[in-house]
Amino acid sequence: MDPTADQLHAVKAIVYHLLAAHYREVIAYGAGWTDRDRQQPVGDSGRYEPRHADAILEAELKRALDERDPLRGITQLTARWAAAFVLNNDGVTRTKALGRERIARKLQDALPGGENPLRAAVWQLMRPILSPNLAQLNRDAFVQDTASESTVRLDEHRSDCDLDELDLGDEHDQGPVAA
């Protein structure tokens, strides 16, 4: 199939609505804590927190749908979803509607731990845009290091050895005799 421009925009809309239907809070969490345009001031404290999840999602969908290039629009919305998994939780409140404790299970359901292709894809998408600090903070959650690290320093304990040099005890010593 060679899709027309209208069909590509329809695919874009389908992907947006599927993502939004299944991952509403995850997208709002990722966008709400990473984009000042999706935040509101908290009293006179000088702090900001995410707006209501529905308002964030509506703004994100509008922004993505207004994008002329369908793939770029899908990437923008997917990046908001993926941002939820690489946030530095130090700045995120615990119990608000988009707080880390309330969203933790949704994040686990959306992107289970362990080695899987979706986790690898999220890391490939997000790694180039993360600060060095965030990359280091999240690396272990996404990069599976299959080489196990040993605490034994084998090189220090190895040497050339010949069986004739081994002291295996006296050949005639049979050890204790049972009574």
Q: Evaluate whether residue 65 is within a structural domain.
A: yes
Q: Evaluate whether residue 125 is within a structural domain.
A: yes
Q: Evaluate whether residue 148 is within a structural domain.
A: no
> Could you tell me the residue range of the domain that residue 77 belongs to?
5-142
Contacts of 92 (CB under 8 A, 6+ apart): 33, 99, 100
* Number of folded domains that form the chain: 1
Q: Evaluate whether residue 173 is within a structural domain.
A: no
Q: Cβ distance 77 to 16 under 8 Å?
A: yes
Q: Is the pTM of this model over 0.75?
A: no
Of 115, 118, 124, 87, the closest CA to residue 103 belongs to 87
Q: Evaluate whether residue 168 is within a structural domain.
A: no
- pLDDT digit string (tens) for 110-150? 998 888 899 999 999 999 999 999 999 888 888 876 555 55
- Residue 161 has, within 13 A of its CA and on its CB side, a CA count of 6
